[in-house]
Structure 1
Amino acid sequence: MSLPIVTATRYVLPLREGGSLPGVVEGNDLGTYVLKFHGAGQGPKALVAEVIVGELFRRLGLRVPELKLCELDPAIGKSEPDEEIQELLVRSAGLNLAVDFLPGSFGYDGSSGVPDNATRAKILWLDAFVANVDRSWRNTNLLVWHKELWLIDHGAALYFHHSWMSAEKFTGLKYDASDHVFSTVARAVPGIDAELAAAITPDLLTEVIGLIPDEWIADGDRERYLGHLTARLADRTAWLPGGAR
């Protein structure tokens, strides 16, 4: 099983939120995507986190825009007049990550009436599990589209892989739920802990880790991701929001 592959046919415009400078592109399948570049400052590991976390969340019933791999021809970059963007596009020739563009969506501000408390607790538990530090009111990384909540931008999760801290250290890494956009439902999280933990099987983790293209990952790192996530799942005492089970 692998992510679908499209080819970028036109670079439309940059999205200047954050430092990675993603851009909107059109694909040869007539789709429009937010393209995240392997040549950006955060490197391919941010794309690895996007795939593992986004696809894990999707399989557990949350809405994540469809992810695809996108081939980028360096010729597209050479025609870009902005030197910074041109350099990024040329440096990112090859496979990048395409996230389905949701036209007309808007950032979640708490006023839309979604999601329900059970879904909020689920999102908080999963963010704590993958150590996603980027879901605060300063930057929710949540969109409302067609009156439904969509989760985006998971490149800051799984930050253990930047220095490859030990699985033991990652397992005991506490999670600051007080800064999370859904911190008010933290007390409900222990009540769903057993159900969510049981749903994340080794086969499921192996499946989502297997979606990462070889170009973005070093030999042996798939096993390391599996080992770190399995260890954190097995001992949730340190990081579980809302207290011990």
Structure 2
Amino acid sequence: MEKLLQGKVAVVTGAAQGIGLEIARTLHQHGAQVVLADLDGDATARAAGDIATPDLDCVGAVCDVTAEDQVQTLVANTCRDFGRLDVFVNNAGITRDASLKKMQVADFDAVITVHLRGTWLGIREASAVMREQKSGSIVNISSLSGKSGNPGQTNYSAAKAGIVGLTKAAAKEVAHHNVRINAVQPGLIRTPMTAAMPPDVFAQREADVPMKRAGEPGEVAGAVVFLGSELSSYITGTVIEVGGGRYM
């Protein structure tokens, strides 16, 4: 396999499991040294150990993406240990689903804070390094929920839509420094979270996808690799939908 990220250094937040873990694994397969960041230090360390190879480092780091000092430390330690930062993936996220009638303010605030403040802090800190390098790619993980809106996810849909606006605004600020910022919007993807859905609900959502199947985490990761590589060197401020044609 051609390694599209040979010699690159990448950070992935929310990388201990699910889509984040697969993104980290795929970036590493394409030649990147990867820092996996997550709140769960033990799980992140195990994941990094599973991915690492004798000739290519993969390390875990504990980071609460809503904490300014922790995101600053994550970026600073990456640059200290690896000498540069080429790809930063803002993937960390949570859900607190409930109907509009039943959702608590705390549940709304928690989801907005993790997704929007977390992504904004990641962009701010990573782009500061990349501006000095005059190169770099930031990839923000949104969701098709942010395009279509999902019942029971007014907080999540709002946050994921906000990530699109944040991506475009930030991309305009740093484009002249040769720093690119793009977003990926996954649709129905097979993860532990979707596996917990009632089978009939999952089947109906799968039937609504034009390609008539759910996606795999690796298919989301492939879009991230593309956006992180030189194949997308003239692409910034865009959103790639990875949803099998849903909502096209």
**Shorter-chain TM-score range:** under 0.3
Which entry has the higher C-alpha Rg, 1 or 2? Answer: 1
Q: Which has the higher helix share?
A: 2
Greater RCO, CA 8 A, separation 6+? 1
